[in-house]
Amino acid sequence: MTLSTLSQKNQTTLSAAFVRQLALHPGMRLKQSVEKGKIILEPVPNVSTAFGALKPKRKFVSIEEETSGMERAIGKQVGARGTST
């Protein structure tokens, strides 16, 4: 059993063993509830981590590569039309 003290700002410290066991990290959100007179803290999954599981359909490129690609595509369209005067 681990003991902690509640500060004047209503803060307490979790033991290092709890932090390691639950893979907690600074900034992680914890859901707070009370059940049968006991305080329950539950880690809340970070939604942004789920985005890493999704692979993008296209490769992301720099703005310079995007601009160069657009210029080449426009050049091909203009060249394909030819010049009519």
Task: Write the DSSP assignment of 20-44 as a string of letters.
Answer: HHTT--TT--EEEEEETTEEEEEEP
CA 24 – CA 42 distance, rounded (Å)? 10
Tokens of 57: 């359909």
pLDDT at 12: 92
**What single DSSP character describes residue 52?**
G
Tokens of 28: 């992680």
- Give the C-alpha distances (Å, rounded to integers) separating 11 from 5, 8, 18, 20: 8, 7, 16, 20
Tokens of 58: 């296209």
- To the question of pTM greater than 0.75 for the whole model, the response is no
pLDDT at 60: 75
Tokens of 34: 């009370």
- Confidence class of residue 49 from pLDDT cuts 50, 70 and 90? low
pLDDT at 40: 93
Tokens of 41: 């803290």
pLDDT at 62: 85
Checking if the pLDDT of 53 tops 80, the result is: no
